[in-house]
Structure 1
């Protein structure tokens, strides 16, 4: 059902046929966006399947059998206050339908049972209120799920500016900007870098004109240009980069060289912290700082000097910088061009 193809009946009164076609069409549109972004999802999971497979009913039964529910005013309630929520939550309304956090509980029980002990949910900030109740339901189910499962990263909406004006988006009017639109207007690299250049829960404005600019104000251009600039130096030298491993680094004693080396030394710890904190924006900030340190060093000292020892030391430093720039960009899924 997740990669469905469907041909509508053509009958304007056949609501179910129209619904099936709409789901298939929008799923196809999502896939086109993801392919343009070089993203692949191994599995899609339709919420409706949680009902048809009986997983929702099974999850509710687990909670009832554990004594974590009660009936009141014709509704079924979860004792979520026992797990830190500010009030108990309705699970099944008086009309027999379930509230929207219940299938989330059922889904995550299934995910845990499938062996996913580390789960990160990426959602909009409007879902913030569901976190406590979903976690409460998972704790109450008594299936061994630890406290604080799953993790969440909440994103705000992105505003888009073009030619100095905000691109108007309206659900009611059916006007919206897709990921593919941004990629076609700018580039995959720009979209990836820009969207990762801020904390997920902070307001962000995607400036189309800035993403197209070929100057230092454009952060992705600035970082990629630093890498290309180093590649140009190494190409002009024409030697074997691997031989620089044995270079004597003692000539690297100037303030600019030392500053660049200190920036390089931050990379492993920064990357580990960014991964642990779900903070890819830290990688973008670091790459911008590293590029700035390199540009400053390049402007201060000639690299291809006559003194062989000094030259190889400086080449080793910039080659290491190129490696870290390349690796950092690769983590973000952004290319590291050798020429620009």
Structure 2
């Protein structure tokens, strides 16, 4: 029987809300097909309204545990009919939440990061939870378009963004061809330093890194002891005779047989140059952040002074308005008094009071 697609399940869903980009449906059907009927465990970081957990429960009908983690306290009020679903409330990258998640389920077949999408959180979550992915399992990062946005700590020209980190993981897939047995070198060192995480290319076992629109799917290698070798078949070799060539491994033997080392710079030199350039970028980013913090401090002080001045001006304007109101009221009372009958009636008396002293003075001067 053909299983329903993720989009079919998504569009038929009628309980808690969820949202997914169109391109995710096909990508997930392709990469999750082998898990559909297995008793898997799944972790989703960032569940928002909780509907995605219900959809995963339908999509993976034989899943044993589906765990969600979200920092929003409102998620505590979400209720689920499926007993396989549980939710941890808290920052997935905090020690307490990590302990709560991993003590409940020791390892996961699928981990989906749909959390804050901040570059720092994306890389910290990967460093924490990729080790908890089972061999052959997958680690998914959604909404990677935010990696290009400054508001999320990214940028199209910033080497230390989420996408920059994930692009390096493609080199980790092929590390048997360049890493050899070197110690003291870490292709991911600048990310480890900037985001304060323990991540080293030497310790990552990755089989595949697949990119889709705003999504990356990383498959963990199965360490079954089988070496990656160059296999040969057929018995007619008219262009290049392989009859004397034995199956070669994917490391130094193959490099030598293909004469790759003759044509390329030593991988160590190129990678060292990359790390050096990335270190310069990291220092520039730190300086920019420092200057930005200083500018914010100055701007805050200026804004506070401006606010205080505006408040003082407003108080002065209020006082002036009160004086003007009082003056206008007094003028109105005077005008009313002068227009009154009593004022007109007493006009002769006021005239006599003014003129009598003048007459007296004139009489004195005559004598």
One fold, TM greater than 0.5? no
- TM superposition score normalised by structure 2: 0.21
Bigger relative contact order (CA 8 A; separation at least 6): 1
Computing the radius of gyration from Cα coordinates, the structure with the larger value is 2
- TM superposition score normalised by structure 1: 0.22
